[in-house]
Amino acid sequence: MDDLEFRTRAFSNPLDQQEDLRTAADASPERRQLLDELNELERDLRRTLLAVDIPVGLKEKLTQHARAASPLRNRGLLALAASLVVATGLTLNLFFQPGLSAQDLALHDELVEHLHEEAPSYQSNYDDGGDIGWAQVEAVLEASGTSLTSPDELATMQMIFARLCALGGSRSAHLVARGEHGPISIVFIRTAPVSRRVELRDDRFQGRIIPVNEGNMAVIGERNESLGQYEQMLRESLEWSI
């Protein structure tokens, strides 16, 4: 690992426990000193942030102000409100899941942002009873390089949304099923597997990103949705076709 890659990863996540980063740090006193300083800075930052109480109802107030703004400012303010909500979740993710790599955090961040952007589209289908046909789901799976060896169980789910997206730098599949308490997002990302399971940290959504062979699968729902059955069913039948 050269100095540029080492510094990039060290600054991105000084608590990264992957062996290659630790080996690179031990290769020189300068690298070890830099990583130790970044670790101490990270711990100080966490202690400071944990001591700050986030005002109750902050997200609701930001959203209300954005919706009340003029049409020209509305989009920008809504985006700012969403970004602040996502940032809160990402801070909690660092606190409660130490040892995630820079790649893990990057994929988590990208997925959370994507969910907040897409939620209005599939939420309206959920509220209006707008189910889609299984043929549309199969077309999205095929285009994303995803195949299910036992699709019958998934086909019995009420699907309300199926679209290609660019998560993980590739054509990924974002499906949404009708859950008991709200929409359930099922995301298949064929590239850039995470190094371990990553729990989603967000004030609305709960779920996890799971490495499967050469890619990732994410199953995400509302806070009170039971997701274990979907994770097991999908993980056992998932294959990457291209």
- From first to last of the 242 residues of the chain, give the pLDDT tens digit: 788 778 777 776 777 767 788 888 899 988 888 888 877 776 766 666 555 555 555 556 555 655 555 454 455 555 555 555 444 444 444 444 556 777 888 888 889 889 988 998 888 888 887 788 888 998 999 999 998 887 777 777 889 999 999 888 888 999 999 988 899 999 999 886 787 888 887 888 899 999 888 889 999 998 888 888 888 888 888 888 76
Tell me whether residue 146 is exposed, middle or buried, using C-beta atoms within 10 angstroms of its C-beta: 0 to 12, 13 to 18, 19 or more.
Answer: buried
Helices (H), ranges, 129-192: 134-143, 152-155
Helix (H) or strand (E) holding 207: strand 205-212
User: Tell me, what's the pLDDT at 242?
Assistant: 64
Sign of the dihedral defined by the CA atoms of residues 130, 135, 141, 144, in that order = negative
- For 138, other C-beta atoms within 10 Å of its C-beta total 15
Sheet holding 215-222, edge to edge: 159-165, 172-178, 183-189, 215-222, 205-212, 198-199
- Tell me where in the chain the CATH 3.40.1000 domain(s) lie: 102-240
215 contacts 189 by C-beta, under 8 angstroms: yes
What's the alpha-carbon Rg for the chain, to the nearest Å?
A: 20
User: Tell me, what's the pLDDT at 92?
Assistant: 46
- Structurally, what CATH architecture does the domain formed by 102-240 represent? 3-Layer(aba) Sandwich (3.40)
As a whole number of angstroms, the distance between CA 112 and CA 13 comes to 18
Model pTM? Answer: 0.61
User: Tell me, what's the pLDDT at 12?
Assistant: 64
Which residues, listed in sequence order, are joined to residue 217 by a DSSP beta bridge? 188, 210
231 contacts 210 by C-beta, under 8 angstroms: yes
Of residues 160, 180, 68, 155, the one with CA closest to residue 119 = 160
As a whole number of angstroms, the distance between CA 165 and CA 140 comes to 10
User: Tell me, what's the pLDDT at 177?
Assistant: 92
User: Tell me, what's the pLDDT at 70?
Assistant: 46
Q: Which amino acid is at 69?
A: A
User: Tell me, what's the pLDDT at 69?
Assistant: 53
As a whole number of angstroms, the distance between CA 210 and CA 197 comes to 5
Q: Output the CA–CA distances (angstroms, integers) from residue 197 to 97, 104, 182, in the order listed.
A: 10, 9, 23
